[in-house]
Amino acid sequence: DGGITQSPKYLFRKEGQNVTLSCEQNLNHDAMYWYRQDPGQGLRLIYYSQIVNDFQKGDIAEGYSVSREKKESFPLTVTSAQKNPTAFYLCASRDTNYNEQFFGPGTRLTVL
Amino acid sequence: GENVEQHPSTLSVQEGDSAVIKCTYSDSASNYFPWYKQELGKRPQLIIDIRSNVGEKKDQRIAVTLNKTAKHFSLHITETQPEDSAVYFCAASISSGNEKLTFGTGTRLTIIP
């Protein structure tokens, strides 16, 4: 499981504030992913990146933004445009030679 | 796009009995089907996966079956143990390079001692 870290574990923000979630990996993986997990809804893909300086929208990208300036890092910004940002956010990475995605420990974001 | 349905949403079985979780997918082009286990408060972890060129795969007490014609796949856990209690997610993707996974909504499995 090691190699993918997310920080912080818990995050509280006031409504209307942007917040950035960190995701770092030292697995030398090219591909990285951001998912949102809500009770009863499984994991939904927000953004993904196959290579540095390139990323694509997933199924629920509205209100989120990402960057991929370094191979090891794929930060996710939850903007004030996201209508319901309170959720558990999971980052994952993958060696593009294989299928398996490895998940980070997650960040639980609560917007007050 | 792909849609994955998963049933049941909750499942309770006696320790030692078998558990079966079923998923259906909509996109016939999907060819990779992983199963993830998520224990309470922890990250999802891959427990088994199957490709569309295989009908069944086993790993000790865990097996996955795939029916491409019917577009459904199932997870089978035999001789269940308390540590099998968790939420299980199925997923589907097309192995085209980006491996975008579409997940089912999860099954909360509880093993009754």
Our CA angle for A40, B15, B67, nearest 5°, is 55
Across the interface, whether the CB atoms of B32 and A99 are under 8 A apart is answered yes
Whether B9 and chain A come into contact, CB under 8 Å, resolves to yes
With a CB cutoff of 8 Å and minimum separation 6, the contacts of B15 are: B80, B81, B82, B111, B112, B113
Report pLDDT for B97. Answer: 64
From the list B22, B25, B38, B18, the residue with the least C-alpha distance to B108 is B38
Rounded average pLDDT per 10-residue block, chain B, 113 residues:
94 98 96 95 94 92 96 98 97 80 96 96
Rg (CA), chain A: 13
Distance (Å, whole) CA A71 – CA A25: 8
Whether B46 and chain A come into contact, CB under 8 Å, resolves to yes
* Number of CB atoms found within 10 A of residue A90's CB: 25
Residues A32-71 have pLDDT tens digits of 999 999 987 889 999 999 999 999 999 999 999 999 999 9
Across the interface, whether the CB atoms of A42 and B98 are under 8 A apart is answered no
Mutation for testing the B interface, residue in A103, A107, A108 having most B CBs under 10 Å? A103
User: Mind telling me how many Å the CA of B102 is from chain A's nearest CA?
Assistant: 7
Quick one: B53 exposed, middle or buried, by C-beta within 10 A (0-12, 13-18, 19+)? Answer: exposed
Res. A1 pLDDT band, cuts 50 70 90: very low
